[in-house]
Amino acid sequence: EQSFLKELIKEQKNEITAHHIYKKLAQRIKSSENKVILQAISVDEIKHYQKLKEITEVELRPDMLKVYFFYYLSCNYFFILA
């Protein structure tokens, strides 16, 4: 059971991190269609995080290194997202 809880917490961390990644990317995108899609994904990710938080009863912070890494990639390889 302890390893299962660890896996849930790991996934919870991934969800909050993904939420911040998609939110930050949505703020950067100018295309309204792509912006709406990224915002919707961001909302889904935070919902997943909150469901897992109800189970684990643990508040987590995003992995900001990953958030900024993906933001950096989008700045330098924006043509992929366009």
Condensed to tens digits (0 to 9), the pLDDT of residues 21-75 reads 999 999 988 888 989 999 999 999 999 999 999 999 999 999 999 999 999 988 8
pLDDT at 82: 47
pLDDT band at 80 (very low <50, low <70, confident <90, very high): low
Q: Which residue has the higher pLDDT, 10 or 29?
A: 10
pLDDT band at 1 (very low <50, low <70, confident <90, very high): confident
Between the alpha carbon of residue 78 and those of residues 8, 27, 59, the distances in Å are: 32, 13, 32
Alpha-carbon distance of 36 to 50, in angstroms, equals 21
Give pTM, 2 decimals.
Answer: 0.88
